[in-house]
Structure 1
């Protein structure tokens, strides 16, 4: 019977195998010979690690439900008009449709509070994400925690902070817990992405990275389902439903997930490195030991403190150019990715239909990336999808201006449907660009700084998201200030990937010296072996 850990899950064009007795000269070759095929062991490892994305999505978007402004009705018809602003009506003339504790707005009487106060929890969460990304970004590279333990710590503390949020008694305590939750959430997706892709060979790196994006989509879509099943219950129940499973997940993560073999080797922990490859690969520890004897790679002894990975990145001109280019592109993607769903209410038709179409756009974007990542050029894909998103966003802006001056009654198709169509295509394109640029960044930087580089990329995405709500608010009366700016920003920022090398099919390096040698050897770093 075939060993299930080495039986490929999917039919794939295989490369000629090198005899195990042939000498090896790089860590990449050891990884490929040991876990090059994508068997059940790798699939279970990658899936369990990527599941963290689902809990990440739940905590990111949970405020859409818990902080919503509930519906209401008049109780005294003589002094109440349901079309009026409830803040202008006597408080005893209207009532909430649902129990008061279904939302923080109704429980803490925030319906007439300023936008600064009512938006404080969401703002606190993203401020926590920015702070956490900056402070924790390099720990998975530079500290002794590694990828697995950093993911475990981040996910556990994020979940505990979310669980504590359910005990909040006012908006200030609630906002403080949301900040802490965002702080620890900042590195969950990054560590999950890096760890899952470093547990497989290069042939499956792209597909494994997309598994996390699929889990993120399912996590997002699970929120309205959980909210519907608990309709009429306290908003605190939603935090319990999302955080308790996440804490149980951390237990499974601790006992059943392996540390990144690349990181273990660079830290000089060769026994653990051999044990990890032996448990998910096909060769015995004796054979692996013989392989390792021929590897001349130096250990990563440069990471002396938690910020050394960032220092290493900033010491190399080619690394600065790459990091700057991907961060600018990510900023443009973040503006649209986080901002566009907030503005769908101004497009016409049903608000819930518009939001559902945006949420569902993430699923086909992830599937397209999953099945085509092996064939897609990274640079061309990011450039193409950002330009398509920009064009459709500008088209949506033009349609908004047109619909204000024309009558739709005699048209064969409503301008509202055209606007929704253009907006959906734009959001689908930016979601796909989001997925590809994360995989692209994984391949652009070596193992010793990879987690830090991906963390900086995600900070640029979140920073772009900070400007999204501002543009949406400014564009409620003038669509040019929202969708027009969205389109121009994402298209312009996407052009910066033209300064990056192509990485499709190339081996990923483990040290800065290897990557720099590849850059010098090829002039650009394109398609060269480490």
Structure 2
């Protein structure tokens, strides 16, 4: 009988489960993972790389909060329009610089060294920011923090993806970007608590606290296991197998998941090494000459654009001007709204982090864009009504309520789900370089949105919003046409979805794999 053709999904791509080999069932009780000492330790240690985007969330929320702090505005001459745009655009400008260091540091020296280096630089930037005495010093500090944050963030997600147990990988990686919201909560409540202080300490304290997660990472990252995929890429196969045996097999070298993973990793990396390009220009060439990689590149670029141009700049960096435009002008009201809004964002992000494993990735992107589109329309209508009649408090309060709803709508598809999707669609040899491209695009459009939005708000006010309403529709079409579903297969086997069955040619069974002695 002729073999049955693989099923096709709505986007025309083969169903992943039809092509990828099935991951064997672990001998461990991964549902009750805390019962296993080493697996429990691994999942606790994942908190260290999970902190990697905490600083990014802290920054956006802090800048929202500081714009509501009178002492900050007075100290720097009440920045607005283009000047305010420079304040906020300095951070993504640093990020654009930082992307060029992600791959050289992470691929040559390891994931842990890269996170440690970025955390140290972040501490230095926060110190400069807290001690800033003028506008140029504050801007330079934000460039430094931006460069350091993107280095840490660009390596944190791959490290989680590469060391998490296969049955925990989706949820663990999806939790990555939820720490953005946790950082935002911390910053929001810091500025709410310090805005009453008379003097520059009202903004210097939050500025200094931006270093807190980096200090924690700098101390603890050395206790986290190194990526077994990076170890194999450096010829340190015994160490890679020992790591998998200890943390994924609880010391059992014969665990079927350990054997499967080790065989998949070594086979895939040996095949990748034959075609690997070891320079940025070589990697870029590989992205545009291979059909599967061209699709990966298109997905990454489009995802980066969607993550920044869906209207989220209002909530992320310019909440204070928006609130002022609908009648909430006091420091107390604005900092309180910022703080409580960040809590709603974090709770929703944590809850939605479980969705990719249940419902898949693609559907979450699409529904997220639908909800953001509806909210953008409603915010536009409410703002227009309030500007027409500023005694219409109902319209103003409706806009505030909709701003609270925007973050959950964004988080549904572009928080945990995005943090999982981008690292997993990239093969090991291109993972950090692909993430560098993703962050380069993301921070480039962040510069555009953070610089253009305050100018637009100052000149055309609510009439700026319809631009985002129309653009989200374009984003939806792009996601529908470009983004394949990746739920199901192992990290190595996701390559089949983009490159077809020829991406994997694994011969034999995993039984022949030599195993390391079981760790006691």
Determine whether 1:281 maps to 2:248.
Answer: yes
* Stretches of structure 2 lacking an aligned partner (at least 5 in a row): 1-19, 34-38, 505-520
Instruction: Report the secondary structure of 1:111's partner residue.
Output: coil
The answer to whether residue 209 in structure 2 is matched with residue 241 in structure 1 is: yes
1:384 aligns with 2:359: no
> Of residues 404, 415, 419 in structure 2, which corresponds to 1:438?
419
Report the number of matched residues.
Answer: 456
Does residue 1:492 correspond to 2:474, yes or no? yes
Q: Residues 362 and 40 (structure 1 numbering): CA distance in 2 closer, same or farther, change over 3 Å?
A: same
Q: Determine which of 125, 139, 145 is the counterpart of 2:104.
A: 139
For residues 69 and 318 of structure 1, the distance between their equivalents in structure 2, rounded to whole angstroms, comes to: 47
Q: Deviations over 1:380-416 (max 9, x none)?
A: 210111122012201221233344456977xxx9222
Aligned equivalents of 2:83 and 2:386: distance in 1? 34
Which of 367, 372, 375 is equivalent to 2:358? Answer: 375
Distance, in Å, in 2 between the alignment partners of 1:32 and 1:454 is 30
Q: Are 1:161 and 2:136 matched, yes or no? A: no
Q: Is the 8 A contact 2:174 2:354 kept in 1?
A: no
Structure having the larger proportion of residues in helix: 2
Q: CA RMSD in A?
A: 3.5
Structure of greater relative contact order (alpha carbons < 8 Å, 6+ residues apart): 2
Give SS of 2:211's match.
helix
- Assess, with a 3 A threshold, how the Cα gap between structure 1 residues 178 and 418 changes in structure 2: closer, same or farther: closer
Matches within 5 A, 1:263-342: 263-282=230-249, 284=251, 287=254, 296-299=267-270, 300-301=272-273, 302-305=276-279, 308-335=282-309, 336-341=311-316, 342=318
Structure 1 pair 519/500, CA: closer, same or farther in 2 (3 Å)? farther
2:483 paired with 1:509: no
- Find the aligned partners of 1:515 and 1:32 in 2 and give their Cα distance: 27
Match of 1:474 in 2: 456
Change (3 A) 1:490 1:361: farther
Q: Measured at CA, do residues 488 and 304 of structure 1 come closer, stay the same or move farther in structure 2, by a change above 3 Å?
A: same
Query: Does residue 1:250 correspond to 2:225, yes or no?
Result: no
TM-score normalized by structure 2? 0.76
Report the Cα distance in structure 2 between the residues aligned to 1:443 and 1:250, rounded to whole angstroms.
26
Note if contact 2:373-2:469 (Cα within 8 Å) is conserved in structure 1: yes
Task: Write out per-residue CA displacement over residues 171-195 of structure 1, whole angstroms, 9 at most, x where no aligned residue.
Answer: 2233223212211211222211221
- The one-character-per-residue Cα deviations of 1:243-270 (angstroms, maximum 9, x if unpaired) are 256224312112x111111222233220
Change (3 A) 1:400 1:304: closer
Cα deviation digits, residues 391-443 of structure 1 (max 9, x gap): 2201221233344456977xxx9222333333333332123221222322233
Looking at structure 2, the residues matched to 380 and 329 of structure 1 have their Cα atoms a distance apart, in angstroms, of: 14
Change (3 A) 1:460 1:158: same
Preserved CA contact (<8 Å) 1:331 1:463: no
Q: 1:463 to 1:184 in 2, by over 3 A?
A: same
Contact 2:51 2:213 in 1 (8 A): no
Q: 1:418 aligns with which of 398, 401, 407?
A: 398
Would you say the 8 A contact 2:293–2:498 is kept in 1?
no
C-alpha change, 1:494 and 1:458, in structure 2 (3 Å) is farther
Kindly state the Cα deviation for residue 50 of structure 1 after the two structures are TM-superposed.
0.6
- Equivalent residue of 1:203, what SS? coil
Alignment of 1:73-222 (within 5 A): 103=72, 105-107=73-75, 110-111=76-77, 115-117=81-83, 119-133=85-99, 135-139=100-104, 143-222=107-186
Q: Secondary structure at the match of 1:482?
A: helix
1:452 CA displacement: 2.7
- Report if aligned partners of 1:35, 1:277 keep a CA contact under 8 Å in 2: no
Distance 1:416 1:477, change over 3 A: farther
8 A Cα contact 2:61 2:185, kept in partner: no
- Structure 1 residues 136 and 491 mapped into 2: Cα distance closer, same or farther (>3 Å)? farther
Supply the distance in 2 between the matched residues of 1:392 and 1:116 (Cα, whole angstroms).
Answer: 27
CA contact (8 A) 2:189 2:339 kept: no
CA pair 389-316 structure 1, distance change in 2 beyond 3 A = same
Alpha carbons of structure 1 residues 373 and 241: separation in structure 2 relative to 1, 3 Å: same
Q: Which structure is larger by alpha-carbon Rg, 1 or 2? A: 1
- Tell me the TM-score normalized by structure 1: 0.75
Structure 1 residues 188 and 111, CA gap change in structure 2 (3 angstroms)? same
CA positional deviation for 1:40: 0.9
1:123 aligned counterpart, secondary structure: helix
Check whether the contact 2:57–2:181 (CA below 8 A) recurs between aligned residues.
yes
Supply the distance in 1 between the matched residues of 2:498 and 2:236 (Cα, whole angstroms): 22
Q: In structure 1, list runs of 5 or more residues that go unmatched.
A: 1-25, 72-101, 522-530
Q: 1:334, 1:238 → 2: CA distance?
A: 24
Deviations 1:437-477 (A, max 9, x none): 23222332222222332333333333333333423532456
CA change 1:514–1:41 in 2 (3 A) is farther
Q: Shift of residue 357 of structure 1? A: 5.0
In the other structure, the counterpart of 2:434 is 453
